[in-house]
Amino acid sequence: MLLRTVLLAAVFLLTWISFRPFQNLADPPQVTELGNIANQLGYSALFLILAAWCLAHQPYRLVLLVRPVLVVALFWFALSVVTSWEPALSARRLAFTLIIIALAAMVMLVPKNIRHFADVLSGVVLFVLLICYFGVLFAPSLSIHQTSDFLEPELAGSWRGVFGHKNEASAVMVLFIFIGLFAARVRGAVLGALIIVPALVFLFFTQSKTSIAMLPLVLIISVIMRHVRRPALGIALALSGVIVFNTLSIGSLYSEPIRTLLDLVLRDATFTGRTEVWEFVLDHIRQRPLTGFGFATFWGTPEVVYGMGGYEIWANTAGHAHNGYLDLALTIGIPGAALATLWLVVLPFADFYRSSHERSAAPLEMLFLRVCLFAAYGSCFESMLLQEGGAALFLFAATFGLRLLSVSRATP
């Protein structure tokens, strides 16, 4: 049990704190040939340790998590590396993502039971929250966006804690709220409140409109899905949000009635300048619609930042497309985007309805469902799918968790 606890805690601490907490954003970002050595060594070491543990503890269970669409998607990712305009960078980032995916799959096999998972997860979350608040109080220049930030000085005043951006911090705080609700049902309301209240406060001070708006929506949709008896209807309800959000956002670039509607109901119909980025991305998707520019390879490269200076907008200096689905199409092509969306968005909802729905497993099912819903909806305005680094690990874990619950009975 001690070894299981240490492994779980190590994975999730690395997921949220990383090897580069409290980054100084006054320094210009760099895309280097070698990448982050600490990340490479740390994640690789954890991967080897977890792999050894899984080999000694019923390794056949990993086979349950591998589905055909994942195999085909990984093949397409590799193809996008071969055709990438930066093959070495794409290959390195794909290797890193494969380690993240493997860690997410293996970590789902480590908990002894649901209560053990809740205890370790709650302890890690409370520790991360403590570190975030410590940074805000005692190292604000490294925990709160400043006017001296190199890329986005206009974000000054928004809290980010140990994270590199306020949008990343806000997304994690939403996940923490979901975990708090999970802990409240499994281990009691007091523990849940200790997580939810500080996470809500921190979320408010990130000033992230997307995460703040998506939180109540996800909670409502998840409760409705829980009580819908027909799987097709529940899945359609979940996916309707993705369709509506993308229609209103991306569709506003092409439809005058949608633009008119947005002008009437929104203070900023450009979604804080995102429409310019989406136009930029769509122009480049048309250039390479099949294989894209290479797995996780476009933003921040010298060709984009310095070679596309003719654009009189900020799009070529953005960190991502501010839409996860467009980012996938841009980097791994439209077929790759379809495969990744099927794996990370559509199939988890189907797995939710195939799970046992036993009373003891219900809190865990709801936790994973809410994580997948939030990623699906948030990706309409931010890039949350297949993002680089440990922040994506919990989404992958939720995807594998729902898969595991759908093919095996949960142990209380």
Among 50-64, 295-309, 362-376, 396-410, the minimum mean pLDDT is found in: 295-309
Q: Is residue 152 part of a domain?
A: no
Closest CA to 183 of 197, 170, 166, 204: 197
Residue 392: HSE in the Cβ half-sphere, 13 Å Cα cutoff: 20
Greater confidence (30 vs 238) lies with 238
In this structure, the number of other CB atoms found within 10 A of the CB of residue 62 comes to 17
Residue 390: which pLDDT band, with cuts at 50, 70 and 90? low
Q: Is residue 184 part of a domain?
A: no
Kindly state the average pLDDT of the residues 100-112: 93
Residue 64 has pLDDT above 60, yes or no: yes
Q: Is residue 157 part of a domain?
A: no
Residue 410: which pLDDT band, with cuts at 50, 70 and 90? very low
Q: Is residue 400 part of a domain?
A: yes
* Residue 334: exposure state from Cβ atoms within 10 A (0-12, 13-18, ≥19): middle
Q: Is residue 279 part of a domain?
A: yes
Range of the domain at 119: 2-133+212-407
Q: Is residue 51 part of a domain?
A: yes
**Would you say the pTM of this structure is higher than 0.75?**
yes
Q: Is residue 24 part of a domain?
A: yes
Q: Report pLDDT for 84.
A: 92
Kindly state the average pLDDT of the residues 219-248: 94
Kindly state the average pLDDT of the residues 349-374: 90
Domains in the chain, number: 1
Q: Report pLDDT for 408.
A: 76
Q: Report pLDDT for 409.
A: 53
Q: Is residue 142 part of a domain?
A: no
192: Cβ–Cβ under 8 A, 6 or more apart, which residues?
180, 181, 182, 183, 184, 185
Kindly state the average pLDDT of the residues 145-167: 87
Q: Report pLDDT for 143.
A: 92
Greater confidence (79 vs 300) lies with 79
Q: Report pLDDT for 412.
A: 36
Q: What percent of the chain has pLDDT over 90?
A: 59
Looking at the DSSP assignment, which residues form a beta bridge with residue 159? 144
Average pLDDT, the chain: 88
